[in-house]
Amino acid sequence: MILTSELFDRFDRCPRRYAFESEYEPRSITPLGLLYAAVEGSLTAPEAVQGAKDALMERTQRLDVNAGELSPLSAVRHIECMAEVIAMALRAKLGRATRPDSAQLGDHEWRSNLIESRGELHRIILVSHMDDDSLRSFAHSWQTIGELAAMERPVTLTVVLIGSQRGGRRHSAWTKGFLHPIQRNLRFAPRKKDSGFTENWKACWREQSDIKAEVWLNQMRTDGVMDELIVSRKIHYHCDDERMIQARRDMLLIAEQMMAARTDAPMRRSSCDELGRGACPWQSCCYAPTPMTPEDLPHLYRIR
């Protein structure tokens, strides 16, 4: 059986969802899912910005975008412009990355969801904000603990703060700046600590401007906003750590349970509309007023 940390996370949140996604896939993708695809694609591509564009094109050609308050075209353009700047910033920090080789976990093959750069494993996390509680949550999740236990190597959590989503757009320096009312200079922070932007400064979304990604990123660096938007924390691995030993035991037990997952398993209602993750894409099947299967909704789901 092929195992990944993403599959463990999905099964842990809802065995019913895991069973659905073993046979079917949604015909749509969320903006956050699209951003992840673009950023991760950029890290392994020969050129970062083009890699982000190619990953976006591949997804949007076969999947609809759950754009919310924006039109799908506007949502994709917003994500593309954000992904370009993030891609350049991460490439400058990490260099070009690769996918690590598979590992063996018992009788199973472990395919890592991490990237490897300069001899280190990285987990890329895109979040609206980060505090101590969320950092602990990332460190203790299957997508970190599972990778540590299976790969038997340290993992660096590289967290990118992309801002809260309002009106269909992410509000952060990756996407939004301010233009001087006369000189039209782009800024992200005032030059003096005791002064702010006056009402004459105009908000500027990158997708609504002709500002190149490189120029946008350089101004972010000049204004000193980069350090607070990309944060890295290294999680060390020790082979004699009882937590790692127990995690491997648990993973082999859970793998057996995964093989027996059924689409009629009880709902995990806490996972239906998780804060920060949005609605589960399988609600149309398992939270319908009448019994539904993916075959009844071919416009929403298709066989893998």
22 burial type by CB count under 10 A (0-12 exposed, 13-18 middle, 19+ buried): middle
Q: Which residues pair with 301 in a beta bridge?
A: 26
Structure tokens at 41: 């694609």
pLDDT of residue 57: 95
CA 63 – CA 127 distance, rounded (Å): 23
pTM score of the predicted model: 0.91
- pLDDT per residue of the chain (304 residues) written in tens, 0 to 9: 999 999 999 999 999 999 999 999 999 999 999 999 999 999 999 999 999 999 999 999 999 998 888 899 999 999 999 999 999 999 999 999 999 999 999 999 999 999 999 999 999 999 998 888 989 999 999 999 999 999 999 999 999 999 999 999 999 999 999 988 777 789 887 655 545 666 778 889 999 999 999 999 999 999 999 889 999 999 999 999 999 999 999 999 999 999 999 999 998 888 898 876 778 999 999 888 998 999 999 999 999 9
Say if residues 124 and 135 touch (Cβ distance below 8 Å).
no
- Other C-beta atoms within 10 Å of 110: how many? 22
List the structure tokens of 196: 């702010």
Determine the Cα angle at 301 with ends 253 and 166, to 5°. 90
Q: What phi and psi, each to the nearest 5 degrees, are found at residue 220?
A: -60, -45
Residue with structure tokens 């991760």? 40
CA distance 105 to 149: 9
Report d(CA 12, CA 6) in Å as an integer. 10
Going across the sheet that includes 176-179, the strands are 186-187, 176-179, 202-205
> Where are the chain's structural domains?
2-22+99-174+229-303
State whether residue 235 is helix, strand or coil. Answer: strand
Residues 6+ apart with CB under 8 A from 95: 117, 118
Which pLDDT score, from 0 to 100, does residue 192 have?
56
The pLDDT, as a whole number, for residue 275 is: 74
| Nearest Cα to Cα of residue 33 among 89, 71, 93, 83 | 83
- C-alpha to C-alpha distances, 167 to 67, 171, 174, 254, nearest whole angstrom: 10, 10, 16, 40
Residue identified by tokens 């922070």 is 189
The DSSP code for 167 is T
CA–CA gap between residue 302 and residue 109 (Å, rounded): 26
Find how far residue 146's CA is from the centre of its chain.
17
- C-alpha dihedral sign at 180, 186, 189, 193: negative
Beta carbons of 259 and 1 less than 8 angstroms apart = yes
